[in-house]
């Protein structure tokens, strides 16, 4: 094995290059993986742009990337105890939590109370080196066996699929429910599949442009948010009642307000999009109609559960992939991702 590898190194906000850097060494209960496919996430674009100063990443230079698949190239001490072998195909996720705090022992490791504390918690591609590189080190908590039926490209979209399943779980979708989804990006569209998996009778996607056309092509009912008041349209489509569950997957103040407005009495809204500013919500309606509003962060236990659903074609990750680039062409890949007119949903980068 060589000593150095290629990596996407972000030197400062919006200034990055493909550079030769040392290959990281796996520590106890970690593996070194040869990355075969990485998917660009909205969070990557924000992070590279410097939208989360001092947090994601804590400092520059930084190597992003957290939706990936590959194969194990070397084992750190103890990784073999979990059954891992060199050559195993894996899909990765980002939260490497402490495993000891109260939230971790309850299984809610996405809410680890030791978040970001040195030596206790890591989030790959956010506060620790990510997968936009030839090799990446991950703790064994963050790698999952990739079934033979899934390609490396599929494997790079398993992490967002797990996040989509988590938001449908947080929304408590019940068999027969009408589910509305605000936002037709990858999480919104995969969220539609997750709602169906949980038994939704109807899935209505609210969005615009190429992405909304994709939602229609995937067989969801659609509402064009640029063609009138989407809240009124969803009420019309549901005999004036509204949706039992809304999954808010866009993360802007306007869509959060829409999401609550679309809810049926006693309905529940799960929010996975992260607005960067405060949102004024109609508290009177929330109280008088007993609406429920819950947050949904990353995933917690859904990586393994979503894998067979991807294999069965019920969680359609392959349909999300619109573009492919080599890691060396990351600048073009990111520009395509940020260009709404490109029709990009998921872009695969190959190191």
Give me the residues that bind Zn ion (CB under 5 A), please: 41, 43, 97-98, 101, 104, 112, 114
Could you give the 3-state DSSP secondary structure of residue 39? Answer: strand
Residues 210, 204: Cα–Cα separation, whole Å: 16
**Minimal distance, residue 155 CB to Zn ion, in Å:** 14
First to last CA, the chain: 16
Nearest distance from C-beta of residue 43 to Zn ion, angstroms: 5
* Listed residue (74, 41, 67) closest to 155, CA to CA: 67
Q: Which is nearer to Zn ion, 26 or 130 (CB)?
A: 130
What token pair was written down for 116?
Answer: 């970001």
For residues 266 and 251, what is the distance between their CA atoms, to the nearest angstrom? Answer: 22
Distances, alpha carbon 345 to alpha carbons 115, 201, 256, 325, in Å:
29, 25, 21, 14
Residue 144 or 258: the one with the smaller Cβ distance to Zn ion is 144
Pair of tokens at residue 15: 């200034």
CB of 348 to Zn ion, least distance (A): 13
**CB closer to Zn ion out of 225 and 299:** 299
Indicate the pairing of strand 202-207 with strand 178-182: parallel
Least separation in angstroms between CB 253 and Zn ion: 21
Nearer to Zn ion, 75 or 112 (CB): 112
Please answer whether residues 235 and 242 qualify as being in contact, where contact means their C-beta atoms are separated by less than 8 angstroms: yes
Beta bridge partners of 223: 206
Compute the least distance from the CB of residue 298 to Zn ion, in Å. Answer: 8
Report in angstroms how near the CB of residue 53 gets to Zn ion at its nearest: 19
The residue (of 101 and 347) whose beta carbon lies closer to Zn ion is 101
104 or 161: CB nearest Zn ion: 104
Report the residue number whose CB is nearest to Zn ion: 41
């Amino acid at each position: 094995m060589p000593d150095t590898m290629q990596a996407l190194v972000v030197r400062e906000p919006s200034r990055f290059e493909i550079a030769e850097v040392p290959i990281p060494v796996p520590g106890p209960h970690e593996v070194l993986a040869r990355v075969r496919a990485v998917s660009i996430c909205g969070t990557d674009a924000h992070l590279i742009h410097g939208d989360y100063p001092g947090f994601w990443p804590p400092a520059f230079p930084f190597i992003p990337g957290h939706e990936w698949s590959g194969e194990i190239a070397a084992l750190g001490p103890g990784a073999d105890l979990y059954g891992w072998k060199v050559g195993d195909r894996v899909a990765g996720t980002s939260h490497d939590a402490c495993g000891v705090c109260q939230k971790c022992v309850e299984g809610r490791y996405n809410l680890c109370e030791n978040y970001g504390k040195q030596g206790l918690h890591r989030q790959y591609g956010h506060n620790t080196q990510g997968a936009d590189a030839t090799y990446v080190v991950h703790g064994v908590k963050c790698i999952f066996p990739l079934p033979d039926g899934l390609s490396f490209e599929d494997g790079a979209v398993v992490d967002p699929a797990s996040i989509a399943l988590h938001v449908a779980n947080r929304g408590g979708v019940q068999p027969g429910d009408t589910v509305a989804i605000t936002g037709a990006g990858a999480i919104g569209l995969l969220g539609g599949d997750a709602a169906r998996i949980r038994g939704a009778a109807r899935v209505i996607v609210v969005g615009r442009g190429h992405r909304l056309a994709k939602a229609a092509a995937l067989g969801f009912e659609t509402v064009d948010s640029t063609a009138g008041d989407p809240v009124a349209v969803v009420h019309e489509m549901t005999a004036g009642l509204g949706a039992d569950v809304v999954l808010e997957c866009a993360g802007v103040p306007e869509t959060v307000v829409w999401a609550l407005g679309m809810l049926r009495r006693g309905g529940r809204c799960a929010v996975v999009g992260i607005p960067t500013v405060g949102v004024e919500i109609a508290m009177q309606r929330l109280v008088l109609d007993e609406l429920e509003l819950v947050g949904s962060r990353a995933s917690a236990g859904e990586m393994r559960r979503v894998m067979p659903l991807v294999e069965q074609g019920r969680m359609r990750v392959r349909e999300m992939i619109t573009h492919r680039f080599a890691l060396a062409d990351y600048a073009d890949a990111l520009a395509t991702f940020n260009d709404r007119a490109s029709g990009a949903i998921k872009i695969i980068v190959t190191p």
